[in-house]
Structure 1
Amino acid sequence: MEAFEHFSIKEIVTCFMVLFAVIDIIGSIPIIVSLKQKFGHIESEKASIVAGILMIVFLFVGKTILNFIGVDVNSFAIAGAFVIFIIALEMILGIQIQRHTEAKAASIVPIAFPLIAGAGTLTTTLSLKAQYHDINIIFGIILNTIFVYIVLKSANWIERKIGEGTLKVVEKVFGIILLAISIKLFTANFAELVQTYIHF
């Protein structure tokens, strides 16, 4: 199959790591636990599947939307790099620039959207398209969807076993990784934009 010609374990791992850091499901465990206590039940399967579908759909439809409004993928990827940069700063410095809206129900909203497949995640998904092959991004999304499902199912147990301190350390480590990736994403797409304008 043509799609599998570009199959790359290295790209899948990179896409998985980027999305994992942006989704920050580990850092969201306290929110998930709070929602479970408030509503009694979280529809883990439905929330995970809907979030995965949202990311995959946006991966393909997002470019069409951009073309319609006259924005190229490289410019969008640079904008995405800034979003990822801000998310990384939040994770590293322990600050909150974007505010989470209060949950009304522990269902598709707010678990699938905006907690998992929020603006930052969707922007990142499309930004990855500028640098990696679709098949590898899809695998990265699927792996994250599976991981999200596992975390949603066992959020209480994870919080008890890992502890808040360890969760904070994990969050900061992924924040640094995310910061480096955002800079790489910016420089690569900025270089392509410059080359495009030089040729014009």
Structure 2
Amino acid sequence: MNFDFDQIISVSLVLFAVIDIIGSIPLIVSLREKAGGHIQSEKATLVATFMLILFLFLGERILLLFGLDSSTFAVAGSIVLFTLALEMILGIEINKYTEPKTVSIVPIAFPLIAGAGSLTTVLSLRAAYQVENIIIGIIVNMIFVYLILKFANLITNFLGSGIISVMQKIFGIILLAISIKLFTTNLSLLIEKL
């Protein structure tokens, strides 16, 4: 076991930037409302943690099993993020959540937390960092994610509905831009491969 504090910090910061759970607070609040005021924070965090660690070890094999590569995966994930962003900006409902319990898994655990960006980031981190340090970095991030999911209501009450509404629109535009960048970057890689 080669635990390296510097590697753990680096991995944690990279994943923190990619997951961007702080920027997702308005979306989490919006999804919480659609889910009847409840999100299963523990379930969402555990599923996302499991997906990230599984992808760390088996990501490339899983994608190859379906004849996919990380670019194809990222394009698909970007379309899901695009629809979430449109909901935030326009105040419309594209995804129907008939079963509130499922909101904790889709879209919170995937693709919000363990999405195309974070899953492909985990694969690329493996090339530069020790696996045990990446796992600790994932766990550090998931603890933070859990706290944000658990206390999203308190954060909302502290900030107020007006600020949350403005943040929702702003972060919706940012999420839209991220989804477009993810889409165009990976689509161009797919076209090059053809």
| Superposition TM-score, scaled by structure 1 size | 0.67
Deviation, 1:15, is: 0.5
Aligned counterparts, 1:88-167, within 5 A: 88-103=85-100, 109-110=101-102, 112-114=104-106, 116-118=108-110, 121-125=113-117, 128-129=120-121, 133-134=125-126, 142=139, 145-167=142-164
Do the aligned partners of 1:81 and 1:182 also contact (CA within 8 Å) in 2? Answer: yes
Instruction: For 2:18 and 2:144, locate their aligned partners in 1 and report how far apart those are by CA, in whole Å.
Output: 14
Matching residue within 7, 12, 15 for 1:12: 15
Q: 1:15 to 1:194 in 2, by over 3 A?
A: same
Cα shift readout 1:148-185 (whole Å, capped 9, x = no counterpart): 42244434433433232222211211111111111221
Instruction: For 1:189 and 1:139, locate their aligned partners in 2 and report how far apart those are by CA, in whole Å.
Output: 28
Which residue does the alignment assign to 1:39?
Answer: none
Q: Which runs of 5+ in 2 are unaligned?
A: none
Q: 1:76 to 1:156 in 2, by over 3 A?
A: closer
Cα shift readout 1:6-27 (whole Å, capped 9, x = no counterpart): x467743431327953993243
Deviation, 1:67, is: 0.8
Matching residue within 57, 60, 64 for 1:63: 60
Asked if 1:54 corresponds to 2:50, the answer is: yes
Across the two proteins, how many residue pairs are aligned to each other?
A: 185
Matching residue within 25, 30, 49 for 1:27: 30
Q: Which runs of 5+ in 1 are unaligned?
A: 37-41, 104-108
| Alignment RMSD | 4.0
Cα shift readout 1:107-159 (whole Å, capped 9, x = no counterpart): xx546423521356544356644995356986885465334422444344334
Do the aligned partners of 2:85 and 2:175 also contact (CA within 8 Å) in 1? Answer: yes
Secondary structure at 1:118's aligned position in 2? Answer: helix
One-letter amino acid matched to 2:24: A
| Superposition TM-score, scaled by structure 2 size | 0.69
Secondary structure at 1:24's aligned position in 2? Answer: helix
